[in-house]
Amino acid sequence: MQDPTMQVYKDETVVVIKDKYPKARYHWLVLPWEAVASLRALQGAHCGLLRHMQRVADRMVQQCPDAQSLRFRMGYHAIPSMSHVHLHVISQDFDSPCLKNKKHWNSFTTDYFIESQDVIEMLERDGRVTVKPGSDQLLKLPLRCHVKLEDCYTSELLLAQCCGVLPEDLPEGRPERCKKWLRKRLRTWTRTALTARGRARGWRSI
């Protein structure tokens, strides 16, 4: 937060930094200078702050050179890892070596990720933000494609479904059989259909 090399924008109210371990091509954090520990610590008086954070996030997306080809979401983790409230601004390509496991994926593609506007509306209406009990269990859900909203039992199938490049002869049977088949053919797909369809959806070739 204080490191100037990580800062991409700042004003008297907030600072925007690059996520140290980005989970997509574009992943920024909007943090208030004011010390607010978490969503639960927010009060009605913070409504103006959250609206300002949203406006800054919108500006970051508008200024992004790939804004026309990528989709973005802005929101908060139900149970953040950092004890300072922060707004995620993240592109939906999820093209990053730091996206390593199911927990990472589910933290941005399930209800664990609460839309910024929903948080603002809740705070304006109730004077506080309520995090649903059991939110931590959302990180354990099966992998699900965030584009087609279909369950995926392997990361390879997840990538293939998101890019729409699954061929017709996907073998039936146990997940392990499909997993080996997918791994064997994934390199071929990324040289052909993935480069065309995947890039159109915001993916880059592997």
Can you read off the two tokens belonging to residue 3? 């490191």
The CATH number linked to 111 is 3.30.428.10
Which residue among 98, 117, 140 closes a domain?
A: 140
Indicate if 130 and 173 belong to the same structural domain.
no
Indicate if 113 and 55 belong to the same structural domain.
yes
Indicate if 11 and 88 belong to the same structural domain.
yes
The domain of 166 spans 155-200
Burial string for 38-72 (b: 16+ CB within 10 Å, else e) reads bbeebeeebeebbeebbebbeebbeebeeeeebeb
How much is the pLDDT for 148? Answer: 58
- 89, exposed or middle or buried, with CB in 10 Å at 0-12, 13-18, 19+? buried
Can you read off the two tokens belonging to residue 98? 């730091």
Query: Taking all residues of the chain, what is their mean pLDDT, rounded to a whole number?
Result: 81
Indicate if 174 and 107 belong to the same structural domain.
no
CA dist 89 and 10 (Å) reads: 15
149 occurs within a structural domain: no
94-126 pLDDT tens trace: 989 999 888 999 999 999 999 999 999 999 999
Q: Is 9 helix (H, G, I), strand (E, B) or coil?
A: strand
Indicate if 123 and 159 belong to the same structural domain.
no
Q: Region 56-71: what's the mean pLDDT?
A: 95
Indicate if 46 and 11 belong to the same structural domain.
yes
How much is the pLDDT for 169? Answer: 47
Indicate if 96 and 183 belong to the same structural domain.
no
145 occurs within a structural domain: no
Indicate if 20 and 118 belong to the same structural domain.
yes
Q: Is 106 helix (H, G, I), strand (E, B) or coil?
A: helix
Indicate if 18 and 77 belong to the same structural domain.
yes
Indicate if 54 and 23 belong to the same structural domain.
yes
Active site residues: 86
Total tally of structural domains belonging to the chain:
2
**The whole model's pTM is what?**
0.75
How much is the pLDDT for 51? Answer: 98
Q: Is 127 helix (H, G, I), strand (E, B) or coil?
A: coil
131-188 pLDDT tens trace: 999 999 999 998 887 775 555 555 555 555 554 444 444 455 554 555 555 555 544 5
Indicate if 80 and 32 belong to the same structural domain.
yes
Indicate if 63 and 107 belong to the same structural domain.
yes
